[in-house]
Amino acid sequence: MAGLKALVIGMGIAIIIAATVLVTTIVQRGVDMNGARGTAAAPAAGAIALPAGARVVETRMDGGRVLLRLTFADGAQRLLIVDAQTGARLALHDLVTEGARP
């Protein structure tokens, strides 16, 4: 009977330790790298300069970059890559049909 009592006490202590570890892990994941709890960075505001006559027909995000597919009145298309936080232009690529000259 004494062995069963010791086993029950040991399992109770193990459950308390496991619950403490679980709660600690959840709290640590809720705190970001700066130590702020549950706060997100303020969204960036600004303007992205598009080439004259361009119209945005598609957007994609990947990490801190935004890809804009632009179409022009003459049918030409370009890819514009900008930084999501600053709006700075990172790259501009013309889309051309294979074998055609840009």
Q: Where are the domains positioned within the chain?
A: 1-40, 55-95
Q: What is the dihedral of CA 28, 34, 37, 39, to 10 degrees?
A: -130
CB neighbourhood size of 82 (10 A): 21
pLDDT, residue 19, reads 94
Residue-wise pLDDT tens digits, 61-99: 988 899 999 999 998 999 999 988 888 889 999 998 887
| Dist CA 95 CA 102 (whole Å) | 8
pLDDT confidence band for 28 (50 / 70 / 90): confident
Model confidence over 30-65: pLDDT tens digits?
775 455 554 556 666 778 888 888 999 999 998 889
Whether the CB-CB separation of 82 and 50 falls below 8 Å is answered with: no
Tell me the C-alpha distance between 44 and 61, whole Å. 15
pLDDT more than 90, % of the chain: 46
